[in-house]
Structure 1
Amino acid sequence: MVSIKSIHTVVPSEATPNGTFLLSQSQQIKAHTQALTIYIYNSNHNHNIIDTMRHSLAKILVHYYPLAGRLRMIEGGRMEVECNNKGVLLLEAESTNTLQDYGDFEPNDALRPLQPAVDYSEPMENLPLVMVQLTRFACGGVCVGFGISNVVVDGISGTLFVDAWAKLARGGTLGEDEKPLFLDKMAILKAETNDEKPFTASRFEHREFKQLPVMIGRCDASEESKKETDLAILKLTREMAEKIKKKANDDGCLEFDHEAVTAQKHWRPYSRYESIAAHIWRSACKARNADHNQPTVVLTVAGIRNRLKPPLPLNYFGNATHPTVTPTCLSGDIASKPLRYGAQKIREAIELLTDEYLRSAFEFIERQDHLGCLRPKLNRESGCVEGPFLGNPNLNIWSWMSNMPTYGPDFGWGRPVYMGPGEITGDGRAFIMPAASGEGNLSVAIRLQTPHVEPFVKFFYQDI
């Protein structure tokens, strides 16, 4: 049982700029939701750590002052951040459980009380951009449940913020290269070419803005979206992950993708993400047992900092990501053809995001009369995003493989023994992430329609 002991609104400890903080075109299409992450610490401190967290949070907000503001809607369904110093929310909680009661802390409903509850029935202008819940366990361990606006911040910016906050909490100071860089979004992420030739969005198909495939015989995904789902968590040892990668790269050049592969002048082996994501895709297609000709895609979100020309600085503050979708494939092909077929399709989606493509996408967004047509809608009563249905027959696969627990933030209690997403909702959504055991082991957490979970697990391990 978790109980809230105190609630604090934390504002910057010094005066900060007022006014508005511009959002890029890339940020404008994000759902107005909180990305939830948990950090678990095997701490055993008896002093009142809430004061340390509160004071250091006030100090770091001086540098990250837009996070103390609020989102607001402006003309054309666009959003901006009002830097009004309303502060962030810090909750102090206690749990009667011990760390051992939560097992490996991988995403499930039992973790929900360890995360700050977001009341999406509140107007956008009232919701803090950052919410933190500090929970002390009966054994002395600590959980930091961290929520931050998906619109304002991506994984890199969020990590920079939490790491900088942790450094101040343990008594350090920030160097100039550790401070966020606020750039003019209109100048950096604008839709224009370098050769003065105007872009036209029609130069690219922009699959990310189109309807995803639905089940054969259906005109929409309404029926599939109502079906009950369950979460499956699968363990991958380092050896198993390497075996999947080797399988994707050793299948040989096949007739169906030989031209696509050999056309690349500098072809490189498929990565762990490409290989494991393809393995997940194939296992899901088999488990769903759809018609061979059932169209299917994988949607993912990729960072674009290094894809733009010139590239954005590492400490650029904002959400610099963009959705991308694989070419439409047939479920039977993904299920029956060798693994490199799916891996190649996933690679094509990621490599689609060139500077030219991205600036075309920015122009496409900019030209919309109202961005409500591109942004997932939020049901304020349920807190659920009502955007494009990403489940059956499709998947939405995220990678957390670079966020290894040993590199998590140290608030003065040592490195976290686990870090990962707080919850996984929606059919077809999957995360590939480090296992709590470390040593290069991974976990795959995926939510599927209930009848598909058991066969998915069977095919996942059977095909390794």
Structure 2
Amino acid sequence: MANEEKEKIKGGEVKVHSVLTVVSSTPVNPGKTCPLSAIDRAMGHHSLHVIFYFRSGSVGFDRIRPVLNEVLTLYPNVIGRLVKEDDGSWIVRCTDAGLRVHRATVGTSVDEWLRFASADDERDLMVKQEFPHDPQYWSPFRMQVTEFEGGGTAISLSCPHMLADPISLTLFIKSWTEACHNDVIVHPPFLHPQAINIPLTFTTPFPTSTSPSFYASKSRASNSNPKLKFVSTTFSFSNSIIKQSLSKICSTVPDLTPFDLLTALFWMRIAELKSKTDDNLKQSISICMDMRKHLHAPLPYGYFGNALHFSQLTMNSDKMGSGDLGQVAELVNRHVTGLKEEEFWSAVDWLNSRKDDQGKFLPPFKMYGPELTFVNMESMIAPIRTRVNEFEPLMYRAEFVKDQKPAHVSYHIENTEGEGLILVMPSPEEGLARRVTVTLPEEEMGKLLQDKVILSLDPTMLLSGRS
């Protein structure tokens, strides 16, 4: 039966049948622009995609489309167009040009798709487009609405990464669902990129900061091996198994998080795979995390743009080879909780200083890699508005139909390179449950999917294309 269903998925071609333009219900004020921050510009090499899967066939784009017109009035940057300034920086010219929406169908169910489709298949659910030479008439944000056989809908939103980070795209969709129910928009957009400016209370440069040297090393990194084929798989870990695993190693560090545990687990297992072909004395990873709530003057969740910071964590191969998961998890925990605000502002300062002799900003470089990069999406778990001591994953509160949360939410970051990319994110099960999307060279992924240590945690595989 599994092989038959897998064949069905392979034959389930996604067919785009129309493209339409959705505009805001209220015209944009003439002359309105949104500049980009230093961090936004730094992400210029990448594109970002989010896909929400809904099992309910009653989502109905024709039903929810009129509300999208209303929501777009809050997001003039989403329907704007990119323009380059004389100094090489980008701005968004807010116009009434609208959001391009692609409509498609696929001949399989949502559950069959999640179980048997591959990450390559999933890319057919989102709009991929090359950055044009002249983007002033180009729609940088694109949506695709795909209807599944037997009910169910996938809604994707795509854009250049320099215009938004994962939280920004997530909250756009969530705001749309809230407006569909005439609810208060809990995290309205905060369109003020100048908030990513170094506070006057800080003195730059920060002499003890390691961020400039780390970012500089990224800017000098060359392509690792462009011929390598990368594949992706999402591992779903239950609340009970994460709780049980944390209880075994929390005796010395009681506040370990699922991110600490899963980063340590995948780092160690991938390092074990690489150790047979790599004689490096040290193992390094890059950790990407959202900084909205880690600043002395926190940014609102609705800050629309990039509030990401990359940092490096290194461990001697002897410790890595010891097999002590608790020790490595503790190291990750100390690194994440010990990240100082000065590191973030130091990175912003360095990015702002990257100019040529004519004062123009230098081209961006690849931020994800060359090290194995872990993306910490714990910040997606936010306080519930009416119960501040309880928390919810933002993406799984996006309900077009009341009490029918998404079956899954995928994130794709394009044009990455290096040793691989791992996203640790919340699960629809909530609690301590997590979903981990792993992108590795195909040969390494084949071995990882058979790793006994990872399989001992009984994960469910999604979007791996394997039965």
TM-score per shorter chain, which class?
Answer: 0.7 to 0.9
TM-aligned CA deviation for residue 273 of structure 1: 0.4
Q: 1:153 and 2:140 equivalent?
A: no
Q: Distance between the aligned counterparts of 2:310 and 2:191, measured in 1?
A: 23
Matching residue within 450, 453, 456 for 2:448: 456
Map of 1:42 onto structure 2: 55
Map of 1:416 onto structure 2: 406
Map of 1:224 onto structure 2: 225
The answer on whether the counterparts of 1:25 and 1:362 sit within 8 Å (CA) in structure 2 is yes
Q: Distance between the aligned counterparts of 1:374 and 1:301, measured in 2?
A: 21
Map of 2:333 onto structure 1: 347
Q: Distance between the aligned counterparts of 1:292 and 1:337, measured in 2?
A: 18
SS of the aligned residue for 2:405 comes to coil
* C-alpha spacing 1:167/1:232, structure 2 compared with 1 (3 Å): closer
Map of 1:89 onto structure 2: 100
Map of 2:205 onto structure 1: 200
Shifted more, 239-248 versus 63-72: the winner is 239-248
* TM-score (normalised: structure 1): 0.79
TM-aligned CA deviation for residue 340 of structure 1: 3.6
Map of 1:13 onto structure 2: 25
Q: Distance between the aligned counterparts of 1:147 and 1:86, measured in 2?
A: 17
Q: 1:300 and 2:290 equivalent?
A: no
Q: 1:322 and 2:315 equivalent?
A: no
CA-to-partner distance for each residue in 1:162-213, whole Å, 9 max, x for gaps? Answer: 111122234x1546x6432333x43x32234427xx4115441214403269
Q: Distance between the aligned counterparts of 2:308 and 2:75, measured in 1?
A: 19
State percent identity of aligned pairs.
Answer: 18
TM-aligned CA deviation for residue 21 of structure 1: 0.8
The answer on whether the counterparts of 2:144 and 2:155 sit within 8 Å (CA) in structure 1 is yes
Matching residue within 51, 76, 80 for 1:65: 76
Map of 1:383 onto structure 2: none
Matching residue within 325, 335, 355 for 2:321: 335
The answer on whether the counterparts of 1:107 and 1:421 sit within 8 Å (CA) in structure 2 is no
Structure 1: give runs of 5+ residues left out of the alignment.
214-218, 253-266, 377-386
TM-aligned CA deviation for residue 28 of structure 1: 2.1
Q: Distance between the aligned counterparts of 2:240 and 2:410, measured in 1?
A: 22
Q: Distance between the aligned counterparts of 2:132 and 2:442, measured in 1?
A: 29
TM-aligned CA deviation for residue 60 of structure 1: 0.8
CA-to-partner distance for each residue in 1:96-152, whole Å, 9 max, x for gaps? Answer: 222243144786112122212323356443442321111112202211122244222
Q: Distance between the aligned counterparts of 1:358 and 1:161, measured in 2?
A: 25
Task: State the AA in 1 paired with 2:315.
Answer: C
| Structure-to-structure mapping, 1:2-151, within 5 angstroms | 2-17=14-29, 18-31=31-44, 33-45=46-58, 49-104=60-115, 108-121=119-132, 123-151=134-162
Shifted more, 336-345 versus 29-38: the winner is 336-345
Task: State the AA in 2 paired with 1:432.
Answer: V
Q: 1:180 and 2:189 equivalent?
A: yes
Q: 1:360 and 2:352 equivalent?
A: no
Map of 1:245 onto structure 2: 246
Task: State the AA in 1 paired with 2:191.
Answer: F
The answer on whether the counterparts of 2:170 and 2:394 sit within 8 Å (CA) in structure 1 is no
Q: Distance between the aligned counterparts of 1:299 and 1:37, measured in 2?
A: 22
SS of the aligned residue for 1:210 comes to helix
TM-aligned CA deviation for residue 400 of structure 1: 4.3
* C-alpha spacing 1:355/1:122, structure 2 compared with 1 (3 Å): same
SS of the aligned residue for 2:225 comes to helix
Q: Distance between the aligned counterparts of 2:223 and 2:46, measured in 1?
A: 22
Q: Distance between the aligned counterparts of 1:304 and 1:388, measured in 2?
A: 16
Q: Distance between the aligned counterparts of 2:93 and 2:188, measured in 1?
A: 20
* TM-score (normalised: structure 2): 0.79
* C-alpha spacing 1:462/1:56, structure 2 compared with 1 (3 Å): closer
Task: State the AA in 1 paired with 2:72.
Answer: L
* C-alpha spacing 1:178/1:246, structure 2 compared with 1 (3 Å): closer
Q: Distance between the aligned counterparts of 1:273 and 1:166, measured in 2?
A: 28
* C-alpha spacing 1:434/1:366, structure 2 compared with 1 (3 Å): closer
The answer on whether the counterparts of 1:334 and 1:341 sit within 8 Å (CA) in structure 2 is no
TM-aligned CA deviation for residue 281 of structure 1: 0.4
RMSD: 3.3
Task: State the AA in 1 paired with 2:319.
Answer: D
Q: Distance between the aligned counterparts of 1:37 and 1:131, measured in 2?
A: 11
* C-alpha spacing 1:388/1:317, structure 2 compared with 1 (3 Å): closer
Map of 1:283 onto structure 2: 269
The answer on whether the counterparts of 1:107 and 1:445 sit within 8 Å (CA) in structure 2 is no
Q: Distance between the aligned counterparts of 1:40 and 1:53, measured in 2?
A: 15
SS of the aligned residue for 1:71 comes to strand
The answer on whether the counterparts of 2:61 and 2:145 sit within 8 Å (CA) in structure 1 is yes
